[in-house]
Amino acid sequence: MQNEEELLHEVTNKEYEYGFETNIESDTIAPGLSEDVVRRISKKKDEPQWLLDWRLKAFAIWKNMKEPEWAHVKYPKPDFQAISYYSAPKPKKELASLDEVDPEILKTMERLGISLEEQKKLTGVAIDFVIDSVSVATSFKEKLGELGIIFCSMSEAIKEHPELVRKYLGTVVPQSDNFYAALNSAVFTDGSFCYIPKGTRCPMELSTYFRINESGTGQFERTMVIADEGSYVSYLEGCTAPQRDENQLHAAVVELIALDNAEIKYSTVQNWYPGDKNGLGGVFNFVTKRGICHKRSKISWTQVETGSAVTWKYPSCILKGDYSIGEFFSVAVTNNYQQADTGTKMIHLGKHTKSTIISKGISSGHSQNSYRGLVQISKNAINSRNFSQCDSLLMTDHCGAHTFPYIEVNNQSSMVEHEATTSKIGEDKIFYCKQRGISEEKAIGLIVNGYAKEVLNKLPMEFAVEAQKLLEISLENSVG
Amino acid sequence: MIKITNLHASVEGTEILKGINLEIKPGEVHAIMGPNGSGKSTLASVLAGREDYEITEGSIEFLDKDLLDMDIDVRAKEGLFLAFQYPVEIPGVSNVNFLKAAINEKRKYFGQDDISAKEFLTAVKENSALVELDGKLKNRSVNEGFSGGEKKRNDIFQMAMLQPKFAILDETDSGLDIDALQVVAKGVNAMRNDNRSFLIITHYQRLLDYIVPDFVHVLYDGQIVKSGTKELAMEMEEKGYDWIKNN
């Protein structure tokens, strides 16, 4: 017989380890993907029938699709039957102190200027729940609630705001859009949901970071941001801290809906584990991100991509409404054996629509970095404009930079401009900096950040500072 | 300050410097003149540590330390400054941020804290006035879109900000009109003192009218063939480099 104290000890420890979730074992579905698995995911999440039907339709489509081969990336194809598509949001393994964390990660975090408390949180070290950020997050949520802004997990949104989810889910990225989007539609488990009511300006940058009570990002995330008429929101995704994840395959979907006169600014810093120096391991990041712009609305995508072994990502805008604006600002860094195929699609449907693309690729080591973009101006999109600028910076002799721009203009009154440059980081620039007493690493950081400045400037202030340091760290020892 | 002994340097197997001997004491201003291809700019590059050159023989002592043993940025931190013949452009990096980075790296090297914003701004204000650098240029990207004269003045501005112990001016006068030349000279003269030395590399005697050197050396075919005081520069100007070649 256990005495009371022992029992108490056991119970408290158990909670500490697993949170207040039910037993982990029974909450994981065995590897493999079938219609039955899709049904079980939906059931476990206690979803309405319409959503199950939607998922099943996606699965049926996915079954008949082939993994795309057109991207300029090479990787072993994942075995989709070897993946477990549902496991309860399990808490990360909790560590007793920072001493147990990989010192390399800590070093990086320190250099990024991440506070000790935050370091603990990000690495899964047990933390005192009275730290500031929790109360900050709570008060943020209250403040948002007063304005009628909904900011919650996708699961919560499906339960609390089914009419909104149902109205918009899959309207920008339909189930049949592409292989990974179809897969995501069938099996997505969670993600973020955000709704800004009419005429409301969201008073703060919305960041998943503040949703600290939710579990970490899943393998198949689904995010939706809906900006109602005349509203504004700036949304931040990801963080600069290095993120390790045991899931090799990530296939997220992000849908943005900007109704008339609304504006959405969506910023991403992606720093998933890129694999080691020899190209072993690392995350495959196959993301579908797209936004739709109604009349006089605007969507800006800003991304700083430094992580993942393979990146396949094209945040796009459908400029449906007249006078709508789409923007894409990107810095993509690849080092060692990383591969990135990224860019955007600007689909001009409405009249007088405008789009801007600024893409800055930086390749180092043996990496391959591709820009792939489509600018399509339909027949009816009269008087539309696009300006594209694609620059590539090469740091070594073994890396590659590629540009695949596609331009289709179907009327006489529109104008498209495309500029592109490729350059190698200048020895003379590095020498100049060093002659002024600046170390080589710092010099490379300065030069690269200068090169990427146009894009970094688009990031929210505090994010931009961290992103700058991240670029420096990502490119360490990379000139050759 | 600096002592160069029997310095030989080559680039891609071709010997350019063939045994240079030169000692510069604190507070002295030395000028090196010479025809094109005599090795003037090579000497400046070797002193600054440009990696294209191979030192095959000789030694350089800088403040009693082995200069050739130091990395480029360490030489700079120790107090060696090179004003470039062709200052490079660094797009997207603002002039003031660049300087702040340089100053703080140097301070870190000596175990000092970062420069305070106030101290930095005061120095920027004073020194940009010294070289008559347009206020707008300070916040622009390093040398980007600057005219030739502005680039040279910016280099002297950087020199004034970094307060080096030993400054090399590599043909700073090339491409400058007389007004810009005077401004550059004014900046250099304002910085002359008993503890700071200069090495002025020039093709023409003209600059030496404004920055009067203590010693003048003539470099020809990788060697110093004649040394003297400022009168030697006049003589060179009068007789031309052929006079050296024919002797």
Distance CA B56, CA B53 (A): 9
Is the pLDDT at A460 greater than 50? The verdict is yes
A440 to B73: CB separation less than 8 angstroms, yes or no: yes
Whether A13 shows a pLDDT value over 50: the answer reads no
Residue A449 contacts residue A473 (beta carbons within 8 Å): no
B246 versus B150: which is more confidently predicted? Answer: B150
Asked whether the beta carbons of residue A432 and residue B48 sit closer than 8 angstroms, the reply is no
Specify the pLDDT at position A108.
Answer: 65
Regarding pTM above 0.95, the answer is no
Query: In the structure, what pLDDT confidence band is assigned to residue A351 with cuts at 50, 70 and 90?
Result: very high
Mean pLDDT calculated for residue range A348-377: 94
As a whole number, mean pLDDT of residues A233-257 equals 78
Higher pLDDT, A207 or A21: A207
Position A477 confidence tier, pLDDT thresholds 50, 70, 90: low
Can you count the helices (H) and strands (E) in chain B? Answer: 10, 12
Question: What is the rounded average pLDDT of the residues A339-345?
Answer: 92
Range A16-37 average pLDDT = 57
Query: Residue B199 has what pLDDT?
Result: 97
**What mean pLDDT do residues A318-336 have?**
95
Average pLDDT, chain B: 92
Helix (H) or strand (E) holding A456: helix A453-456
Averaged pLDDT for residues A187-202: 92
Give the chain A residue nearest B74 (alpha carbons).
Answer: A437
Average pLDDT over residues A40-49: 90
Mean of pLDDT values over B123-130: 91
Work out the mean pLDDT of chain A and round it to a whole number. 82
Share of chain B above pLDDT 70, in %: 99
Task: State the smallest CA–CA distance between residue B54 and chain A in angstroms.
Answer: 16
B71 interaction partners in chain A (CB closer than 8 Å): 434
3-state SS assignment for residue B33: strand
Question: Tens digit of pLDDT for each residue in A121-149?
Answer: 555 544 333 333 444 455 677 788 899 99
**Cβ separation of B105 and A439 shorter than 8 Å?**
yes
Q: For residues A13 and B194, what is the distance between their CA atoms, to the nearest angstrom?
A: 73
Lowest mean pLDDT across A110-114, A392-396, B110-114: A110-114
Q: Rounded mean pLDDT of A349-371?
A: 94
Instruction: Nearest by CB to A431, from B50, B91, B162: name it.
Output: B50
Chain B contact set for A432 (CB, 8 A): 84, 87-88, 90
Distances in whole angstroms, Cα of residue B133 to Cα of each of A379, B41, B184, B222: 53, 26, 11, 36
The structural domains of chain A, with segments of one domain joined by +, span 26-313
User: Does residue B161 have a pLDDT over 90?
Assistant: yes
Quick one: pLDDT at residue A52?
Answer: 95
ipTM of this predicted complex?
Answer: 0.95
Is the pLDDT confidence value at A260 over 70?
A: yes
Residue identified by tokens 């591709």 is A370
Separation of alpha carbons B217 and A156, rounded Å? 82
pLDDT at position A127: 39
Mean pLDDT of B183-209: 92
CB A479 within 8 Å of CB A445: no
Listed in order, strand segments (DSSP E) in A76-144 are: none
Mean pLDDT throughout A325-345? 92
Instruction: Please tell me if residue B110 touches chain A, with a CB cutoff of 8 Å.
Output: no
Name which of A428, A434, A447 to mutate to probe chain B: the one with the most chain B Cβ atoms within 10 A of its Cβ.
A434
| Cβ–Cβ below 8 Å for B106 and A439 | no
